[in-house]
Structure 1
Amino acid sequence: MTVLAVIPARGGSKGVPAKNLAPVGGVPLVVRAVRACLAARRVTDVVVSTDDALIAEAARTAGAEIVLRPAAIAGDTATSEDAVLHAMDAHAALRGGNGDGHGDPEVVLLVQCTSPFLTADDLDGVTGAVTEDGADTALTVAPTHGFVWRQDGAGRTEPDGYGVNHDKANRPRRQDRPQEYLETGAAYAMRADGFRAARHRFFGRTALVPTDPARVLEIDDPHDLARARLLAPLLDPQVLPSYDDVDAVVLDFDGTQTDDKVHIDSDGRETVAVHRGDGLGIAALRRSGLELLILSTERNPVVAARARKLQVPVLHGIDRKDLALKQWCDEHGIAPERVLYVGNDVNDLPCFGLAGWPVAVASAHDEVRAAARAVTTTPGGEGAVREIATWLLGPALSTAPATPTAP
């Protein structure tokens, strides 16, 4: 059984510019969708339909096949069905199809990357409804018991509110009303031959596949995106990076390797406190072969002194940390998606958008925690970097020397 998942992801969003590349939980929306599809047991092929080179690059790196969408079906009036049909043709052509259905999969999925908390189980659910339960189409839905209202001002001086799924003069108890479902907009499954014939996503027998209402969110405007980022630490399973996931570790200094406090003596000299465990972790990371860098906005002798002791290169006094990080990656031949970047405050957010593994320390600003792909359990300056080294190298930090050179 061939099941093709198509993810439409054009580049011209107006409500949220570059929406499909916006990170939630440290991962761009289009990449989240690709990962969900690749994790689904029943999905055999994953295609991203896009007109945008950056979206194509992110999706390809995540493991999807790319179909470049022509301008005729990339504008505001183009439908998702148009994108799916075009992607089916392109996918079939690569496999010797001729555009009349020859080479089509048995089932095609429409997967929306604007639903950030879509899961592999959701996709397997709608697919199974078609492949095993006899449905022609299926969609994810969320149970709802809400009273729906509509306002109609036609022929009136004042608009009149009236009940859509209830009579406002007779409001039965929830348990006395039939169960209703809200379309989540996340995933749809269709028999491919029926979809080609009907050219829309609902035909024949349609199955409703309930999902967890807590995960239902469609990103249409900046407020939706902000909510998604706040929910991500609660809804996303914590996935920690391993040594094989990264080629470099880039560390902020203040608030990450310190507790973000500065002590100033009567002569104006500044001192900070660092954690010996962080020194052990950094020594182990350095000896493991990973590239290391300290990147700081502050131009402060203490930053340079700490970097010298740790034997780690440092760039400090940097206003645009993301530009400096990109240049450093280019100079060292490191792909940004293979960088683990550790930060704590809002000036780290541009680097979070660039690095493949943005990590926040436990004491980080709420907005930074929401944008991170992983969050330490340890605050900055109290061993957070040692904790990250443990993620990458294991609890024993076996690559560290018996007597660390930079405690």
Structure 2
Amino acid sequence: MKKGFVLVMIAACLLMLLSPIQAAASSNLNVTMDGEKLDVAAKAKEGRTLVPVRGVFEKLGLHVNWDHQKKTAYISNDESKVSLTLGNKVAVVNGKNVHIDVPVTAEENRLYIPLRFVAEQFHFTVDWNASTKTVQLTSTSTESDIDVEEFLQSVIGADLTSYSTDMSLWQSMKLDGEELIMDMEMKMDMVLDPIGFYQYTAMILEELDGEKMESEAYFSKEGYYVSEMGQWIKYDDELVEDILNLSQMQMDPMYQYELLLAYAENVKVIEKDDTYMMSFSISGDGFHQLILELIGGIDLGLPEEELEMIGLLFENFDITTSTTFDKSTFYPLSQTMESNLAVTFEGDTMELEQKVEATYSNFNQIKEIKIPQEVIDSAIPFNEYIGEWELEDVEFDEVS
């Protein structure tokens, strides 16, 4: 039985929450409809793709009207009607108010509308290709609900041993009235047996005037190596062993299957012409229990009551994710994820919002993750790296 992809999706969501790595945004975005490129000036804002009021939606067979006095766009077909007002984060869909992340925006004397939100209201499939920075719209000509359990068994049994990922991630973190916005690009090569990966990331923080910070990481049975400020660091072998043991447990097909059904909500699978699309959400107590399940396999040196506290730190958690699979192989093709949560520690609350879009490729083409010898030779132990930082703090205090 080959390793499936169900737990990878869930664990990836959690890793995003704990990782400082984010993805670079770009204004050079493309839009395609059923594979045909559309001539449109798309823009990226807060992790969302915006398109001009006119030009795109008409090509989707929708009617578009703009009321200048009310500053409202009306988009409709024979079945549905959506209205969006300039600057308002509440849209009206068939008479009901719906919250949206990014409202209609005015830039350079043009009005821009959030593409994904509108397209999905009219039942178009929206995927993101990070490598080409393309929003891919697909008409839903044939779709039907299928049995979730049957689908999960097929995903678990898929012959997937390795793959590559291109991911874009936007994150907003609010604490004590301050907001930190980060964008990240990530490229990863992943081998599932034995677990190993190479990861490149480029992070941009708005507060640092758009300066790009790049890093790399290798993980295999040889160790866990991360580059920081141009210096390679080797993490303790005990941590590597714990992660390897945990991954072997989590890669068990039945474990994955039970984990998803135990903690996820609103699990749904839709069959289309050439793909399946699975979506689910996790929130509240389900997330707390999932956290404990995942970290329970790592020896953190903490008593059980403190592990419980780690889960309880997370408040108001809500995550939704959707993944598209190839219909013949059950390999993942693309994924989107949105999450909102609050983390409280010692009276301080941090609010975290994330939006992730990823594509997958190179299925079963990566045979091994090999850590370059120059990385191994130049790396310093993690404890030594921490010691250097502590020494700098002491010297700074003495000078002060």
TM-score bucket of the superposed structures, by smaller chain: under 0.3
Query: Considering only CA atoms, is the larger Rg found in Structure 1 or Structure 2?
Result: 1
Greater helix content: 1
The structure with higher relative contact order (CA 8 Å, sep 6+) is 2
Greater strand content: 2
